[in-house]
């Protein structure tokens, strides 16, 4: 399994018991969706390896307490500390209408109500306080905040995101 075929579910942050149980900090708004999994992929030395789950339960809302098969001691658990957990993309819950996952919209065209065709989304910058669409317009990078007030419509079928940005925002990137 390749990382590009998966989504990041969370990270092992702590040992829970001397029997190899671990606590995973989940990167999701709905932790309960992942409480009864059979298996996950764990990143070990830059490779995703399948691990089967003996038992799991939510622990203090966003943490998942997991007991993996064949991880029976503190030493076994130590070897997995700080590792990322991944699931195949098809396990992501389906989103309705204008909701989307960041990976889904790479390659979508962006059309602005006033400006017209802006460009194509190359990536999402979520390292800032507010996530940004990174858009390529003939070699010029344009950044548009992923603000619900700016997003008018998401047309997944035709791969277009319609936005209504404040006047002059896009022009800032095009002026020389």
Residue-wise pLDDT tens digits, 2-49? 888 899 899 999 999 889 999 999 888 788 888 889 999 999 999 999
Choose among 100, 145, 107: nearest CA to 123.
107
Q: Please name the fold of domain 102-174.
A: SH3 type barrels. (2.30.30)
Residue-wise pLDDT tens digits, 84-142? 999 998 888 777 777 888 888 999 999 999 999 999 999 999 888 889 999 999 999 99
Contacts of 124 (CB under 8 A, 6+ apart): 102, 105, 106, 131, 132, 133, 134, 146
Superfamily of domain covering 3-91: RimM (2.40.30.60)
* Ramachandran assignment for 72, one of left (phi > 0), alpha (psi -120 to 50 degrees), beta (any other): alpha
Domain boundaries, the chain: 3-91, 102-174
What whole-number distance in Å separates Cα of residue 96 and Cα of residue 48?
Answer: 30
For residues 120 and 135, the answer to whether their CB atoms sit within 8 Å is yes
Task: Decide: pTM greater than 0.75.
Answer: no
Residue-wise pLDDT tens digits, 42-98? 999 999 999 999 999 998 777 999 999 999 999 999 999 999 999 998 888 777 777
């Amino acid at each position: 399994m390749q990382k590009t075929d998966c989504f990041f579910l969370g990270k092992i942050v702590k040992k829970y018991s001397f029997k190899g149980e671990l606590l995973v900090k989940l990167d999701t708004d709905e932790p309960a969706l992942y409480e009864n999994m059979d298996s996950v992929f764990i990143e070990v030395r830059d490779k995703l390896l399948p691990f089967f789950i003996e038992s799991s339960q939510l622990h203090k809302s966003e943490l998942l307490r997991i007991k993996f098969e064949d991880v029976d001691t503190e030493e076994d658990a130590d070897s997995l500390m700080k590792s990322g957990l991944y699931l195949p993309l098809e396990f992501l819950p389906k989103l309705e209408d204008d909701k989307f996952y960041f990976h889904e919209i790479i390659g979508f065209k962006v059309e602005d109500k006033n400006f017209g065709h802006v460009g194509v989304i190359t990536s999402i910058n979520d390292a800032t306080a507010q996530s940004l669409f990174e858009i390529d317009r003939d070699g010029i990078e344009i950044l548009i905040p992923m603000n619900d007030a700016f997003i008018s419509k998401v047309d997944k079928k035709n791969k277009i995101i319609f936005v209504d940005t404040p006047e002059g925002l896009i022009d800032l990137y095009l002026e020389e």
